[in-house]
Amino acid sequence: MFLVSPVMFFLLLCVMEFVYTTSVSPSLHQPPLTRVRIIEVEDDYDEESSKTTLSPQSPGVTTSRVIRRPCDYDPCAVQLTPCEKVSAQIGCLCPGLTGPEKRPEAPKLQEVKLDGSGEVFVHWCAPRSTVTYYEVTLKDANKQLVFGEYLRNGAVPGLKVGETVCVAAGNAVGLSETSCARYEPPQPDQVALSAGIIAGSVGFLLLLSALVVILWRRRTCRKGRMGDAEGLGNPSYTNDGPL
């Protein structure tokens, strides 16, 4: 009976393990697929713009990308369509705002201007806060006007030159600090004023030239008449010729 020594038995096990490892597909020994998530955060926006990629160790795998762009939002323009509704429709990002549990920041009063209709309008820019209304106050008259959250301007009847007008943003917590400006009289348009002066000067020169021509013609006609009168008064001349 053939006896196997321990050394031979150990060598036999090594050969069997080598054959087994070489016969198995090498793909089973590749490291697992690693997914890398890259987060891109836009400044002043309330969501993350992200994209998911696959590591370069896995060739032939497609890459999926999801990039969200900021919404076309102007804090100084009247919001005909709320930014939240636009975001829900097209998937853009609205600016980040403080929550309704916080007092709003102060809006920025841009200008107090006389409109073409003769009314004085106040224009402001919205803060980066949750706002439900705006309050415009006349300091000297103790008059308050309330405007909706999506408005950025409003008429202020009775505002006089030199008076101070203020605007504040409000929500359920309270009012923000005020932003104020003084109503100054509208300045004349320098271009229109210059054009008026030039047009008036040209018209005056034309009128003066026409007056000079008229006077010159009248003087010429008067000299001609005086010459004819002198010829008729001379006795040396008659209708029949010289005497």
pLDDT in tens, 66-91: 677 888 889 999 988 888 888 888 88
The answer to the question of residue 37 being in a domain is no
Would you state the structure tokens that stand for residue 166, as one six-digit string? 């203020």
User: What's the pLDDT at 69?
Assistant: 86
Higher pLDDT, 110 or 19: 110
Instruction: Output the domain CATH number for residue 136.
Output: 2.60.40.10
Does the residue 149 lie in any domain? yes
The answer to whether residue 113 sits within a structural domain is: yes
Within a domain: 32 = no
pLDDT grade for 155, boundaries at 50, 70 and 90:
very high
Tally of structural domains, the chain: 1
Reported as a single tens digit per residue, the pLDDT across 188-242 is 665 566 667 888 888 888 888 888 888 888 878 776 666 665 555 555 555 555 5
- Residue 88 maps to a domain: no
Amino acid at the residue 222:
R
Q: CA dist 28 to 58, 82, 134, Å? A: 14, 54, 66
Spatial distance between the Cα atoms of 231 and 237, rounded to a whole number of angstroms: 8
Cβ count within 10 A of residue 152: 20
pLDDT higher at 240 or 102: 102
Domain that holds residue 142: 108-182
Burial class (CB in 10 A: 0-12, 13-18, 19+), 143: middle
Residue 116 has pLDDT above 90, yes or no: no
137 lies in some domain = yes
DSSP state of 58: S
**CA 33 – CA 55 distance, rounded (Å):** 8
Token readout for 66 is 């999801």
- To the nearest whole number, what is the mean pLDDT of the chain? 76
Alpha-carbon gap, residue 67 to 119, rounded angstroms: 45
Is residue 170 a part of any domain in this protein?
A: yes
Is the pLDDT at 152 greater than 80? The verdict is yes
| 221: Cβ contacts below 8 Å, ≥ 6 apart | none
Both tokens assigned to 131: 């706002």
What's residue 181's pLDDT? 93
Q: Which amino acid is at 142?
A: N
62 vs 13: which has the higher pLDDT: 13
Classify residue 165: in a domain, yes or no. Answer: yes
* CA distances to 32, 34, 64, 151 from 27, in Å: 10, 15, 24, 63
* Mean pLDDT, range 6-21, rounded to an integer: 71
